[in-house]
Amino acid sequence: MVGLAPTVGLTTAGADRGVSVGTAPDGSALIALEPSGTTVTNPSATTVATLRNNAGEPLETTYSVSVDGDGGALTVVTTGTTTNLDSGSGTDIAVKCEPNGQSGTAQLQVHVTEAAGDGVTIRNALLTVDVAYDCPGGGGQPGDRPAFDDADGDGEYDEGEQTYSIGDLEDFENRSVKLVIRNAGTLDATGQPISVKANTIRIQNTTLESNRPITLDADGSVDLSYATIESNKQIQVDAGGPLSANYAQFRSKNEGVALSAKSSIELQYATIDAKGAATATLNTASASLLVSGLSVQDDDNTLVYSPSDVSVPYKPSQGSVEAA
């Protein structure tokens, strides 16, 4: 076990099971924070660094993330967790802009509480990289109408685009609408089911919750990256194209979670926490089910997928996946 001062990474100077650890500014570090070099410019999740395991063995890694020196311009999206990092693999760290018109350079700080393997345990490491940001000013979308029809497909609210309240989403059906809900905090529809049928659906950095069933149904793609979908009842998501739910959380207190797509389903570093069954249906054998970093906690801690011959190239970090 080793304790360490702030640095950009950790590197071994010893051997076998007793290792000594020092600082390293490059890829030779046992565990390193690699900057992406991307400038943060909008209020959606932007990957700014990758926490990389270079130890030569898997590390069960617990970490937290913060930003310093940004003047309130940035919000951490990847707040931290416990994850199993295979040798050579990494986990992305993302932040987003607040619409306050600020720009500058901030320091991203990743505190590794512990990274433990068979031959080395690293504790209390602070890794840092600089992050440039140039955040836009505030938009004109009404605060009580968090959803909008993204008519031009740019993912951002533009003046004149149709907006919708949380009440509108309780029984929403308009197959021409490209529905977007982003950076809206928690939208609470307690007492009412949520049923959304649209052309495409994009819910990001937002919590959608109800004690009744939640159904999201799109003719095209569904993007739930960094969203939380929480219900006491069944959660059903159907995409007529790809379904992307990386870093998303699905939580059903009393029933299950059912996901389907006519293309690939991405659940990387997502969480499925359900009382009932968790299922993923891909309506083409040529699609892929991506579950790297996924945590499954349901009635049998297993995500059941079909058809059985779809590609599942990685394993989840908690629970398992198996064919129906």
- Do the domain assignments include residue 259? yes
- Do the domain assignments include residue 16? no
Burial environment of residue 64 by CB neighbours within 10 A (0 to 12, 13 to 18, 19 or more): middle
Least confident of 20-34, 86-100, 151-165, 179-193: 20-34
Domain-ending residue, one of 107, 132, 157: 132
Q: Residue 6: what pLDDT?
A: 34
Q: Residue 140: what pLDDT?
A: 61
Please indicate, yes or no, whether residues 127 and 216 belong to a single structural domain of this protein. Answer: no
Q: Which domain does 57 fall in, by range?
A: 29-132
Please indicate, yes or no, whether residues 171 and 281 belong to a single structural domain of this protein. Answer: yes
Q: Residue 169: what pLDDT?
A: 87
Question: Average per-residue pLDDT in the chain?
Answer: 87
Q: Residue 34: what pLDDT?
A: 94
Please indicate, yes or no, whether residues 279 and 208 belong to a single structural domain of this protein. Answer: yes
Please indicate, yes or no, whether residues 197 and 247 belong to a single structural domain of this protein. Answer: yes
Domains in the chain: how many in total?
Answer: 2
Q: Residue 24: what pLDDT?
A: 41
For 265-311, the pLDDT digits (tens) are 999 999 999 999 999 999 888 899 999 999 999 999 999 999 999 99
Q: Give me the torsion for CA of 205, 207, 208, 212, rounded to 10°.
A: 150
For 176-218, the pLDDT digits (tens) are 999 999 878 889 999 999 999 999 999 988 899 999 999 999 9
For 211-243, the pLDDT digits (tens) are 999 999 999 999 999 899 999 999 999 999 999
Q: What is the mean pLDDT of residues 82-106?
A: 89
Q: Which amino acid is at 16?
A: D
For 117-145, the pLDDT digits (tens) are 999 999 999 999 999 998 876 556 666 78
Length of the chain, in residues: 324
How far from chain centre, in Å, is Cα 297? 17
Domain-ending residue, one of 132, 159, 181: 132
pLDDT above 80 (res 254)? yes
Instruction: Report which DSSP code applies to 137.
Output: -
CA proximity to 134, closest of 34, 43, 220, 64: 43
Q: Report the CATH number at residue 79.
A: 2.60.40.10
Distance of alpha carbon 324 from alpha carbon 279, whole angstroms? 9
- Calculate the alpha carbon distances from 109 to 32, 58, 130, 246 in Å: 12, 22, 9, 22
